[in-house]
Structure formats: C-alpha cells, structure tokens
C-alpha cells in the first residue's frame, strides 16, 4: 500500500525501511508534521502514517478523506491527536501500536526519579567544571517512601513493580482495578488519598476529556509539600500554568517531564539557535529541581523495531481486512 509517512526523522526512515523488507509497502517519507497545510502532500495516498505531534483534527481528516485516504496508521499508542468521530463519520480506519515499549517508558520514569532525587544533572555539570563539592546535592532514600501511580495499564503496572523493588509502598488510582497490581500488593485508592499520601506521583493515564488537566491547582493543593511529580504520559494531563507557582512555593519539590502540553512545535526539533517563545517552558527550564526530556521515554531500539513492525503489519492487515481488534482505535 502507498503510505505517506509524516514527521519522519532519520531513525523512522531507517527502522521502517528495514522492517518493510518483509511487508513491501510503498513508503514515502515527509519530514513535516501532518496538519491542514501539509495534508495535501498525501494527495492520492490511500494511507498516512503519523506520530504523536501530527494534528488530525476534523479539517485534516476531512482533507485526507477527500484526497482518497482510507487508513490512518499511528506509529504510537496514544490517539488524542486524532478526531475519532470525524474519522469514523468519513469511513477512515485508525490503527495504532498499543504496546511497543512499556518497559522503556517505565524505565525512563525511573531515570527521571533517580536523576531528580540525586541531582545527577547538577553533579555532572559541577564535576566537568572540576567542582567536587557535594553541597546542595542531598538526596533522599526511595526505600520506604510512598509511590503514587496514576494509571495502572501496561506502563503503570511495570513501574509499580520496579518501585516495589526499591521498597516503596505503592498506591494506585485508575478507573479500573488491575488484578495483576492487586496481586502484587498495590493498593487502589481515591485520587485524593493518593495526592495526600504519596511522596512521588507518576502519571500513566491516557489523555482524554476526563483526564485533561487532572493535575491542576486543586490537585496540587492536596499533595504533600515537596512532592516529586513525574509525567511521561501526555502533557495535557497537567495544567502547566500551575507548575511554575507550585515550584516557586515549594509544593512541588521535584518535577520530571518527558511530555509538555505545548510540545507540538518544540519537541523532536533542534531549536538550539533560536529564542524559545514559550514562557512557561522557558521558566520551567530555569529551576534547578526540574528535568525535562523531549518525549524520549519510548526511544529504545526495541521500541523502534516493534513500532515499525506493528505499523507495517497493521497496514497489511488492513489490506487483507484482518485487523487485530486491539490495534484498531474506535
């Protein structure tokens, strides 16, 4: 099938091209994000392949449909960037890669937790400047602390197990109780209790209407002073406006973000020669107790191999009318 691959970076080309030796689709790579301006690049392509920051609102989906597209193949798990009712109305099938690196994302969350706690970025910079002082690098022991996980799906479950390995008590909030977590000894509690009792809170909920800005001023007010907040899920789960105040007041003691509400025009790009126009992000970057990574939690060799293979097999399955139900977004 002829597929327009948007937001393609060198690593996308390399992993998709390698996996495509087996599937033999016709892949045409485009560097820009898919949006209303670039949708015309996909004219007469029966399918598009997109990533987290491509914008598939009603206008874009309608344009794609008018141009003859039948398939939207997401090479990610989240689908908050797609207007699903519009796609359904216009008869476009949306497929995704439901799990490609749950271990990678959970491990990245742990990386942020450890680096924030032991101030690894500050230590690294100091030592490179021959400053061997350890003043200001005081950490805490994770053993014995309470870890709050919001979302106990694939990633949250793996992370809960890792944090139990550190000797944490794990509290969870999720709309559904996961029996695997219960068997591990994870305790399901209300959001309010999780906020009030957790020393570290990590977000693993999908972004949807119900979870948008789930972390806001009101939620922060219920958390412990000096809480560590980690988000490797989607930026829109947190109202970024309250982060600066939360950090200034000391309510948030540590902040680790792999995702940011307004990341679309920033993340994955080299903007080192430009002035960042996003004042909240610029302010967040100025705090010593904040680590921000550029949506790289998924970025492991295993994940890229899995993403490429599942994306291309989804396209083949679509052609054969034999899609795996769990890979179809409805």
Chain positions 55 to 114 lying near ligand NAD, rule: CB under 6 A, are 77-78, 99, 102, 105
The total number of residues written for the chain in this structure: 330
Question: Is 235 a residue that touches ligand NAD (CB under 6 A)?
Answer: no
Q: Which is nearer to ligand NAD, 258 or 261 (CB)?
A: 258
Taking residues 294 to 313 in sequence order and writing x for each that binds ligand NAD by CB under 6 A, - otherwise, the string is -x-xx---------------
Closest CB to ligand NAD: residue number: 153
What is the rounded CA–CA span in Å between residue 102 and residue 64? 31
Of 48, 79, 39, nearest to 311 by C-alpha is 48
Which member of 12, 56, 96, 156 binds ligand NAD (CB under 6 A)? 156
Long-range contacts of 160-169 (CB under 8 A, 24+ apart): 160/184, 160/186, 162/106, 162/107, 162/110, 163/110, 163/200, 166/142, 167/142, 167/143, 168/142, 168/143, 168/144, 168/200, 169/144, 169/145
Q: Is residue 263 part of the contact set for ligand NAD (CB under 6 A)?
A: no
Whether 187 is catalytic is no
Least distance in angstroms from the C-beta of 97 to ligand NAD:
9
Q: What is the SS3 assignment for 150?
A: strand
Active site residue 59: no
* CB contact at 8 A, 259 and 234: yes
Candidate segments 15-23, 61-69, 122-130, 226-234, binder of ligand NAD by CB under 6 A: 226-234
Name the nearest CA neighbour of 65 among 41, 45, 80: 45
Identify the active-site residue in 33, 204, 234, 261. 234
Contact residues for ligand NAD, defined by CB under 6 A: 77-78, 99, 102, 105, 151-156, 174-176, 204-207, 210-211, 232-234, 258-259, 295, 297-298
């Amino acid at each position: 099938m002829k597929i327009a691959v948007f937001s393609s970076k060198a690593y996308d080309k390399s992993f998709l091209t390698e996996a495509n030796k087996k599937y033999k689709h016709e892949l045409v790579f485009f560097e820009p994000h898919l949006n209303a301006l670039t949708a015309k690049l996909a004219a007469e392509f029966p399918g598009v392949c997109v990533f987290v920051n491509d914008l598939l609102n009603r206008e874009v989906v309608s344009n794609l449909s008018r141009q003859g597209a039948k398939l939207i193949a997401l090479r990610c798990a989240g689908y908050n960037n797609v207007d699903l009712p519009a796609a359904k109305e216009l008869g476009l099938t949306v497929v995704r890669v439901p799990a490609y690196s749950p271990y990678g994302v959970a491990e990245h969350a742990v990386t942020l937790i450890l680096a924030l706690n032991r101030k690894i970025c500050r230590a690294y910079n100091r030592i490179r400047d021959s400053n061997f002082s350890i003043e200001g690098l005081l950490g805490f022991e994770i053993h014995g602390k309470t870890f709050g996980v919001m979302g106990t799906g694939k990633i949250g479950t793996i992370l809960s197990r890792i944090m139990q390995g550190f000797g944490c008590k794990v509290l969870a909030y999720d709309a559904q109780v996961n029996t695997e977590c219960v068997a591990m000894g994870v305790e399901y509690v209300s959001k309010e209790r999780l906020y009030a009792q957790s020393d570290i809170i990590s977000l693993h909920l999908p972004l949807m209407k119900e979870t948008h800005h789930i972390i806001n001023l009101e939620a922060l007010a219920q958390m412990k002073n000096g809480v560590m907040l980690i988000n490797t899920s989607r930026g829109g789960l947190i109202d970024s406006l309250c982060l600066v105040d939360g950090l200034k007041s000391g309510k948030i003691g540590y902040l680790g973000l792999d995702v940011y509400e307004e990341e679309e025009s920033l993340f994955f790009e080299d903007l080192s020669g430009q002035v960042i126009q996003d004042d909240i992000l610029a302010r967040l970057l100025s705090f010593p107790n904040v680590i921000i990574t550029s949506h790289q939690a998924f970025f492991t060799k295993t994940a890229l191999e899995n993403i490429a293979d599942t994306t291309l097999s989804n396209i083949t399955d679509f052609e054969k009318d034999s899609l795996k139900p769990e890979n179809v977004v409805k």
